[in-house]
Amino acid sequence: MKPMKTLVFYVEDEPFLGKVVKESLEFRGFEVMLFTEGTKALELLKTSTPDICILDVMLPGMDGFALGKLIREQFPRLPIIFLTAKSQTEDLVKGFESGGTDYIKKPFSVEELNVRIQNQLRINNTSASGTIAKDKIKLGRMIFYPGKYELHASGKVIVLSNREAQILDILAAAQNQVVDRKVLLRKVWGDDSFFNSRTLDVYIRKLRDHLSADPELKIITLKGTGYNFIVPTV
């Protein structure tokens, strides 16, 4: 029996680009379902579950961010990659707040997209299997469950994205020690490019917001070096 192919839902309203990317990913062994608008993808999601979604941001009618948010509501752990020509910090923030787990700036190479897809699938599979870290990690007044993508604090449950969980897991493993920024970027994204560096800044800001329930937990930025995740010792 042949192994099942990874199913990719790809939403792109530029016909030529969509065709090229679809054929290139299929050549690499993926099964790709191409949609030109978000409503058609949502309709098929009622009967089919992809392994990953790739969403262009500039779509007719419902844009990629709105589509990503709806998909995230249905599938909390499904990897979602946004494709966009926008790269301002506010656009990155909006993308991640809309459920995105990665962000690729247009124009892009299919090789880069393939690497990003493989990385997202690896992160998602590792997290789902519970092998990303311990079952739970005590962080001050909070409990971090890496395999569940959850932070628990005073009865409140904060659901993290898989990327947030991965970054926090790395920082938690080296708590009260310096984590080199370039090392962190390479572990999470595979390279330390300027674009990925800006993306990391967005995630660090989001993690600080999540951890604010315990004022003693602090992610300190060491300019030109990296981060120190301060966790009080009991």
* Residue 67 and residue 114 share a domain: yes
Domain count, the chain: 2
Last residue of a domain, one of 98, 129, 160: 129
Q: What is the pLDDT of residue 1?
A: 46
* CB 168 within 8 Å of CB 187: no
Coil, helix or strand for 177? coil
Q: Are 88 and 40 members of one domain?
A: yes
- Domain with 39, as residue range(s), is 7-129
Across 87-203, where does the E strand assignment appear? 102-105, 137-139, 142-145, 150-153, 156-159, 178-180
For position 2, what pLDDT does the model report?
53
pLDDT of residue 132: 42
Residue 32, Cβ density class (10 Å: 0-12 exposed, 13-18 middle, ≥19 buried):
buried
pLDDT at position 131, please? 40
Claim to verify: residue 116 and residue 62 sit in the same structural domain: yes
The token pair that represents 27 in the structure block: 């050549």
Give yes or no: residues 58 and 110 share one domain.
yes
Q: Look up the CATH number of the domain holding residue 56.
A: 3.40.50.2300
pLDDT for 134: 52
Chain-centre distance for alpha carbon 223? 25
Low-confidence ranges of the chain (pLDDT < 50): 1, 126-133
User: Do 62 and 95 reside in the same domain of the chain?
Assistant: yes
Q: Which residue has the tokens 């993508």?
A: 149
Q: Kindly report the pTM of this predicted structure.
A: 0.62
Residue 173, domain member (yes or no): yes
Question: 67 and 166: one domain?
Answer: no
